[in-house]
Structure 1
Amino acid sequence: MKRNLLKFFLIFLGLAALAACGGGAPQISGIAAVANFETTACVKAEKTIQIRNNDSEEPQRVQGVHFEFGTNDFDKDGNRPETLVEGETYFQFFKVEEVTVGNVVKQAVGNMVTEMIMPPGGVMTVKVSYNPKVITKGEAYHNTYLDVVLNGPKLGVMQIELRGKAPTALEGCGTTQGDLKKFRVDKVTIKIEDKDAEVPVQETTDITETFQFGVEGDKALIGKADFPSIPIDTPQGAVSADLEDETFEGTFDGAKLEFPAVRLSVLGQITVEGKLTTESVEVTAPDGTLSATGSALADGKMKLVFGSTLPQNGLLQQLQGGAIVAEIELSETN
């Protein structure tokens, strides 16, 4: 197995600055650099990108660091579709790990870090990773665009293209290991409690994707492709929640199943973390409290429950700080 790769390069903000029309704040535009990765599929490679504020007098505000929407979604064959299809499973091969300025370190949430200030002459360090699930062939590569959104005094979006190649793959890469337990999804019930919004209980019975997990002894393993996309109606519109693109480990004793901490992602920008279990969950959030009880596998039937606090993310608007639980009713198919 290859060791994780850690490399860095430095970008100066001034190199991409363009004079604003008619004067005013300098504008940032276009691709400032290209970062190349090479690894084995299912082995994470990391790079550290350093961006320097070359202004010796003014601090630079960075409003956000994230991927250009739609450029970090790959299908099961490693292709990036022009449009995303509802119900399909997509993988994020690239990841924003963390952003650092001086002693301030912010871990990325949903591949996004917001509000960093670079002091005059200061450096912002962005740690990114590449962990593909399929190989690349010949001269082909996976790529995405990292946006660094500047909001004063320099304005605009600096883009860094990330390119990844994976000529080989680990054995079993892209598949869940162990004996697979497969289930049909009979019903999903979503409950959201928030003092600032009234969200009706939602029930869905037409999910065609299956739920499955691998079993090795008393260990349970689940990956993104094993978990169905869960539809959720919010005051802002309908969205889908998907398991994040990694393998989560839990326990299974033949009846009771539990994953102590799994992460679900919405739009690649909102992440909720909680327990997925056949026992019970209770969520006490700033703006609401919810609980749910599952049931262990018996006579081919099982009910999983998941619970989490909704994060402080502006995309959630009035649902920030609320509680969410999901009940997933399943029937065994093997």
Structure 2
Amino acid sequence: MKTSIMKRTFRQLLFAFTLLMSFFQLTAQTRIDADFAFQTDPAKKYSLYIPGGYNANTPHTMMVALHPYNTSRWDAKAWCDTLLVFAEANNLILMCPDGGLDGRVDDAIDTAFTSALMDSMALWYNINAAKVYCMGFSWGGRTTYSYGLRNPDKFCGYLPIGAAISTNTISASLFGQARNKGVYVVHGGSDNPNVRYWPAVNTLADSGAIVSSILLPGVGHTIDFANRNAILSTAFSWLDSVCGAGPPVALVQADEFHAGIFPNPVAVGQSLHLTWEGSLLARTQIQIWDVKGSLILNQKVESRQEGDIELDINLEKGIYIVEIAVGKDNWKQKLIVY
């Protein structure tokens, strides 16, 4: 009798252990280096990382990561290994296509392969198509612009790092494809910013992109800068917060009054101002609502002529609606806090 009970208990424990191991295999981190035949290449390579938080039943965020141009150090495998900690910290599926023998990820076969690999990933894994991003360093940063912006329907945001571009590498019309998209530019302060950083940041902003950036003091053309994973995580968190935000809700303009919220997007803790042209009346009221419909701010404004005032509020990350009521007229604007 005791033997029978012990056998049954052992079988139950073994079954429970098998289930636990199966669950671990489904959710544990997975690192893959593989290839498949594509166009003229019989074994086009790629590398993947599947984070520990992946669940096949839940649509997941994916980062397409494009490696630099330096065949002595970089290929898909090395680039994927470099970004493992960042990907795991942000629960990202990491997809790294290989640039082939010449190391450039922007040749025609390479960009076509990147698109084909993305299609394959959608079959192999549960990918949230609305949460796919593109990043890259150096030549990969350049390709984040040149390939990524040519495919705005594929990506919700872009993270170029030390992009190896010159003033005329990316056309203004191509930058225009970033309109209403999040772009977080990371660049070294000693990596020719007057050519590789400022023109891109300014043109993106002028083109209607949702732009944030960081210029790293004393950093040259390298991915091995201090606090890299923390900086990249901050950049991704911001991109994810503005993904799908779309264009700001245009303010209604009257003949005698026009107002706006500045800056927009605004960083957490940064001062938020109401600016206007014309005259504010004593009955002017400002309200800020979150996406759940909760009233966050309800502030009356004294009569005054054109200018600006600082709003007494500290908002968390998210998307808000600002409503300005002047008498019977209302103006609304979408506000993004990152």
What TM-score range do you get, normalising by the shorter chain?
Answer: under 0.3
Question: Larger % of strand: which?
Answer: 1
- Greater percentage in helix: 2
**Structure with the larger RCO, 1 or 2 (CA within 8 Å, 6+ apart):** 1
TM-score in terms of structure 1 length = 0.26
